[in-house]
Structure 1
Amino acid sequence: MDLVQKLVGGFALDLGPVKEPLGFIRVLEWVFTIFAFATTGGYSGATNLIVNCGTSPVATTVTTKAVFGYPFRLSAHSYQVEGCDQAIGNKTYLQGDFSSSAEFFVCVGVFGFLYCTVTLILYLGYQNLYRQTNRGPTIDLVVTAAFAFLWLVSSSAWGKGLTDVKRAVDPNHLIEGCATLNCVAGDYASMGRLNASVIFGFLNLILWAGNCWFIFKETNFHKDPNPPATMEEGGSVGP
Structure 2
Amino acid sequence: MCMVIFAPIFAICAFATCGGYYGRVQVKVDCADRRDSNRSINIGFSYPFRLEEVHFKAPLCESKRDEVLFLEGDFSSATRFFLTVGVFAFLYSLLATVVYVFYQNKYLRNNRGPLVDFLVTLVFSFMWLVSSCCWAKALSDIKSATNPTEILLLISACRAPENRCTATQEPRWSRLNSSVVFGFVNVALWVGNIWFVFKETGWYKTGRRYPTRSASGKRSSEMRQRLYSESSF
Give the match's secondary structure for 1:153: helix
| Structure 1 contact 64–82 (Cα < 8 Å) conserved | no
Please report the TM-score for the alignment, with normalisation by the length of structure 1: 0.78
**1:48 is the counterpart of 2:16:** no
Please report the TM-score for the alignment, with normalisation by the length of structure 2: 0.79
**1:202 is the counterpart of 2:180:** no
Corresponding residue for residue 72 of structure 1: 49
Letter matched to residue 95 of structure 2: V
Runs of 4+ in 1 over 6 A off after TM superposition: none
Offset of residue 50 of structure 1: 1.3
Structure 1 residue runs without a partner (length 5+) = 1-22, 55-59, 231-236
Specify the structure having the higher radius of gyration (Cα): 2
Provide the C-alpha distance between the structure 1 equivalents of 2:65 and 2:187, rounded to a whole number of angstroms.
48
Alignment of 1:13-32 (within 5 A): 23-32=1-10
> What percentage of aligned pairs have identical amino acids?
41
1:163-195 Cα deviation digits (max 9, x unpaired): 100000000110112215532122211111111
Indicate the RMSD between aligned Cα atoms, in angstroms: 2.2
Corresponding residue for residue 148 of structure 1: 125
**1:219 is the counterpart of 2:201:** yes
Point out the structure with the larger helix share: 2
154-163 vs 179-188, greater mean Cα deviation: 179-188
Give the match's secondary structure for 2:204: coil
Letter matched to residue 134 of structure 2: A
Provide the C-alpha distance between the structure 1 equivalents of 2:142 and 2:50, rounded to a whole number of angstroms.
10
Offset of residue 24 of structure 1: 2.6
Give the match's secondary structure for 1:30: helix
Corresponding residue for residue 13 of structure 2: 35
| Structure 1 contact 62–83 (Cα < 8 Å) conserved | no
Alignment of 1:1-239 (within 5 A): 23-52=1-30, 61-81=38-58, 89-178=66-155, 179=158, 180=160, 182-223=164-205, 224-225=208-209
| Structure 1 contact 50–61 (Cα < 8 Å) conserved | yes
